[in-house]
Amino acid sequence: MGDITKNTKFINVCWTCGKHHDLGDLSFERPDGQGYKCDACPGFVISPSGKVQGFLAPVVKIFLVEDGETHRFAAKDEEECREYYKELYGEDLDEESDVTEITDPEEWNRKFIHVEDQPGLASIIDIINESTEFPTIISSTVY
Ligand SMILES: [Zn+2]
């Protein structure tokens, strides 16, 4: 598990039903030793002894854009993603292009070749952590 930065947040997962909970500052512990109960089942999200499970999530949305090539962008919403695409490539994303939000934590953490002519793998989370402003491009043509 990587470190939380200003660009990522920890999402807690219920120990019993697996529901995702965005608890903000409460993510890791409850000072009263009562734990934190799930709102979807009788289970704990944070156990009374402070045990948690979860994953890092980007604080921005991640979009997969397929326009013949494959791109990934980080933006606050689809509209901002489309505006940023236009800014980068000088043209509107056409109607047939697919814009899909990537919401799978495994996909956020999967390592892929980031820059074609440079060695080393990076995940979406890695790239988000290094980004200083949004929207931004995460990848173009994914391996
Ligand atoms: Zn639950």
Residue type, 47: S
Alpha carbon of 48 to ligand 1 centroid (Å): 15
Ligand 1 centre distance from Cα of residue 24 (Å): 17
- Find the helix or strand (DSSP H, E) in which 33 lies: none
Model confidence at 5: pLDDT above 80: no
Same domain (yes/no): 132, 75 = yes
- pTM score: 0.81
Evaluate the CA torsion angle 123, 76, 137, 131 in order and state its sign: negative
| pLDDT tens digits for range 73-83 | 999 999 999 99
Distance CA 46, CA 76 (A): 29
pLDDT for the residue numbered 1: 47
State in Å: Cα 30 to ligand 1 middle: 17
Which residue type does 92 have?
D
Domain that holds residue 18: 8-57
On whether both 82 and 18 belong to a single domain, the answer is no
Asked if residue 110 is part of any domain, the answer here is: yes
